[in-house]
């Protein structure tokens, strides 16, 4: 569920709520939540007890907390993961997977995840850039993101534009919502072959991606329901600013044509039939 803006909201919450604090004890309530921690739940718990969280970092949709041990607690929220910072006396959430208590006795960190596509792991020596995150490209809000490399990389692909936007090794942080929103802004159909996208079109698309991610972040991200919330349990407001995503049959805000829904990569894509004509040979 969460894409870059939603994950960044969570990162900021972790920076405020957890950085500088020392873990007292960790309890894994569901093994699937630590399936990427190959040494198992007990090892995960033991590596975190007594460790101090130094910061909260993010690349794309991946989060990590550098620890004073030199390791990193890494995480991905998947489709439904939440990292909540809540008072210890608060009742357990229905899908509580991992609980972190701190030595100061203050608010706990809880990993809650209905669908269990998300998960956490401790990565050895990963404080700077965990090995499990290294395969992911920088995201468009990273100051070191290379725009020229993106344009080259996009045009070098033999794929469709939307597939390329969703491919986290070219540019990270974009999911189904923001891909559709950026394509709508760029007036490009997601099935457009990448090799046919001109350099100016690629540059403009990247700028639209950046704009929509930034605007959403300023609104606290997109929330359709209570599944996506900040560490404080607050929903974002950007859903009201979406132009295309989820708006099948509603008028295009630009030209008034009814927006369409297409199934693409086994998921929904929303676009304007007039502003974003389907290419002859979609990819």
Indicate the burial class of 164 (C-beta count within 10 angstroms; 0-12, 13-18, 19 or more). Answer: buried
Closest to 61 in 3D by CA, of 141, 7, 15: 7
Nearer to DNA (CB atom), residue 17 or residue 160? 160
160 binds DNA (CB under 7 A): yes
Could you confirm whether 267 is annotated as catalytic?
A: yes
Least Cβ distance, residue 4 to DNA (angstroms): 9
Span near DNA by CB under 7 A; candidates 11-19, 41-49, 50-58, 263-271: 263-271
Contact (Cβ atoms closer than 8 angstroms) between residue 74 and residue 126:
yes
Map the footprint of DNA across residues 35-94, applying CB under 7 A.
60-61, 76, 78-80, 94
Q: Which of 201, 223, 230, 271 binds DNA (CB under 7 A)?
A: 223
Torsion of CA 146, 66, 13, 205, to 10 degrees: 10
Question: What tokens appear for 50 in the block?
Answer: 């007594």
The answer to whether residue 3 is catalytic is yes
**Between 83 and 239, CB nearer to DNA:** 239
Q: Which of the residues 233 through 262 are near DNA (CB under 7 A)?
A: 239
Is 267 a binding residue for DNA by CB under 7 A? The answer is yes
Query: Which of 51, 61, 110, 157 is labelled catalytic?
Result: 61
Helices 176-186 and 199-218 pack at an angle, to 10 degrees, of 130
Query: Residue 16, interface with DNA (CB under 7 A)?
Result: no
Closer residue to DNA in complex, CB, 102/178: 178
To the query of whether residue 2 is one of the catalytic residues in this protein, the response is yes
Angle between helices 199-218 and 147-156 (to 10 degrees): 120
Q: By CB under 7 A, is residue 100 in contact with DNA?
A: no
In angstroms, the first-to-last Cα distance of the chain is 24
Q: How far apart are CA 168 and CA 146, in angstroms?
A: 14
Nearer to DNA by Cβ, of 100 and 245: the residue is 245
Considering 32, 152, 199, 267, which one is annotated as catalytic? 267
Taking the least distance from each CB to DNA, the nearer of 69 and 159 is 159
Look at the chain and count its residues: 283
**Is 90 known to be catalytic?**
no
Q: Where are the beta strands (DSSP E) in 1-80?
A: 23-28, 57-59, 62-66, 72-76
Residue 160 DSSP code: B
Question: Which chain residues interact with DNA by CB under 7 A?
Answer: 1-3, 32, 60-61, 76, 78-80, 94-95, 114-117, 132, 135, 157-160, 163, 166-168, 172, 174-177, 222-225, 227-228, 239, 263, 265-268, 283
Catalytic residues: 2-3, 61, 267
């Amino acid at each position: 569920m969460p894409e870059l803006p939603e994950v960044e909201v969570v990162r900021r919450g972790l920076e405020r709520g957890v950085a500088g604090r020392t873990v007292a004890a960790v309890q894994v309530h569901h093994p699937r939540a630590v399936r990427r921690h190959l040494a198992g739940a007990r090892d995960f718990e033991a590596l975190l007890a007594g460790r101090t969280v130094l910061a909260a970092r993010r690349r794309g949709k991946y989060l990590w907390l550098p620890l004073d041990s030199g390791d990193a607690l890494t995480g991905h929220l998947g489709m439904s993961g939440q990292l909540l910072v809540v008072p210890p006396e608060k009742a357990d959430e229905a899908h509580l997977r991992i609980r972190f208590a701190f030595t100061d006795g203050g608010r706990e960190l809880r990993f809650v995840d209905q669908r269990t596509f998300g998960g956490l792991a401790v990565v050895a020596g990963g404080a700077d850039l965990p090995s499990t995150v290294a395969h992911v490209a920088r995201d468009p809000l990273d100051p070191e993101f290379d725009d020229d490399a993106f344009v080259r990389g996009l045009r070098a692909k033999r794929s469709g534009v939307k597939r390329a936007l969703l491919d986290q090794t070219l540019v990270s942080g974009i999911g189904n919502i923001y891909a559709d929103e950026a394509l709508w802004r760029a007036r490009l159909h997601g099935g457009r072959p990448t090799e046919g996208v001109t350099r100016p079109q690629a540059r403009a698309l990247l700028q639209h991606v950046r704009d929509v991610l930034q605007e959403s972040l300023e609104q606290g991200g997109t929330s359709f329901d209570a599944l996506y919330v900040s560490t404080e349990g607050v929903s974002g407001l950007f859903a009201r600013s979406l132009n295309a995503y989820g708006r099948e049959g509603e008028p295009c805000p630009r030209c008034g044509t009814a927006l369409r829904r297409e199934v693409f990569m086994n998921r929904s894509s929303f676009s304007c039939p007039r502003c974003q004509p389907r290419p002859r040979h979609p990819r």
